[in-house]
Amino acid sequence: MWVAAEEMREGAGEEDRKEEGRKKKINGKRERKREYLVNGDGGGRGVSPNVDAARAFFVFGDSLVDNGNNNFLATTARADSPPYGIDTPNRRATGRFSNGKNIPDILCDRLGIEPLLPYLSPQLTGQRLLVGANFASAGVGVLNDTGYQFLNIIRPFKQLKYFEQYQRRLAMEIGVEQTQARLNGALVLWTLGGNDFVNNYYLTPINLRRLQFPNVADYVPYVITEYRKLLVRLYELGARRVLVTGTGPLGCVPGELASQVSLNGQCAPQPQYAASLFNPQLEQMLLQLNNEIGSTVFIATNTGGMLGGFINNPRAYGFVTSKMACCGQGPYNGVGLCTVASNICPDRNLYVFWDAFHPTQRANGFIVEQMMIGSNEYMNPMNLSTILALDAKA
Which residues belong to the active site?
Answer: 63, 355, 358
CB-neighbour burial class of residue 65 (10 A; exposed 0-12, middle 13-18, buried 19+): buried
d(CA 4, CA 180): 38
CA-to-CA dists, residue 62 to 13, 86, 97, 188, 312, angstroms: 63, 21, 10, 14, 25
Q: Are residues 114 and 131 in contact, defined by beta-carbon separation less than 8 angstroms?
A: yes
d(CA 153, CA 143): 13
d(CA 235, CA 26): 39
d(CA 181, CA 130): 12
Beta strands in the chain (DSSP E): 57-61, 132-134, 187-191, 242-245, 298-301, 327-328, 343-344, 379-380
CB crowding 11-33: b at 16 or more within 10 Å, else e: eeeeeeeeeeeeeeeeeeeeeee
Q: What value does the CA radius of gyration of the chain take, rounded to a whole number of Å?
A: 24
Q: Is 147 helix (H, G, I), strand (E, B) or coil?
A: coil
Amino acid at 278: F
Backbone torsions φ then ψ of 256, nearest 5 degrees: -80, -35
Q: How many CB atoms lie within 10 A of CB 74?
A: 9
Backbone torsions φ then ψ of 95, nearest 5 degrees: 105, -5
